[in-house]
Amino acid sequence: NAGVTQTPKFQVLKTGQSMTLQCAQDMNHNSMYWYRQDPGMGLRLIYYSASEGTTDKGEVPNGYNVSRLNKREFSLRLESAAPSQTSVYFCASSEWVPTQPQHFGDGTRLSIL
């Protein structure tokens, strides 16, 4: 049981390049999330998808787009990468129930030069 799988694990980009971070879960969860984690700050929500076919902005959505491809997959796209987007990105999934935990992927360490 893989849980939440993120790819790639590491990536270095130049300013202005684009890329897509991939996330897939095999727990049949309805809800999926993208977070970024920066030194000295807590996890911040970028976008989330409460259920297949829906996406909503989180706390820090600027510069990002998302696609909920199907129930399993939720991708995060940086259209024109900026150094301020250097961060560790985590994908998570959960049931749409307040008393269920979120399951996290191992993270993607992204550096923008």
Partner 1 sequence: KNEVEQSPQNLTAQEGEFITINCSYSVGISALHWLQQHPGGGIVSLFMLSSGKKKHGRLIATINIQEKHSSLHITASHPRDSAVYICAVRGQGAQKLVFGQGTRLTINP
List of residues contacting partner 1 (CB under 8 A): 31, 33, 40-45, 48, 50, 58, 90, 92, 96, 98-107
Closest to partner 1 by CB, 1 or 41: 41
Closest to partner 1 by CB, 72 or 103: 103
Joined together, the tokens standing for residue 67 give 């696609």
Closest to partner 1 by CB, 86 or 102: 102
Nearest distance, CB of residue 16 and partner 1, angstroms? 29
Closest to partner 1 by CB, 80 or 100: 100
Nearest distance, CB of residue 43 and partner 1, angstroms? 4
* 87 touches 21 (CB < 8 A): no
Q: By C-alpha distance, which of 48, 58, 54, 50 is closest to 96?
A: 50
State how far the Cα of 61 lies from the Cα of 47, in Å rounded to an integer.
6
Residue owning tokens 């307040």: 98
Nearest distance, CB of residue 9 and partner 1, angstroms? 11
Joined together, the tokens standing for residue 38 give 């920066």
**Which phi and psi (to 5°) does residue 34 adopt?**
-120, 130
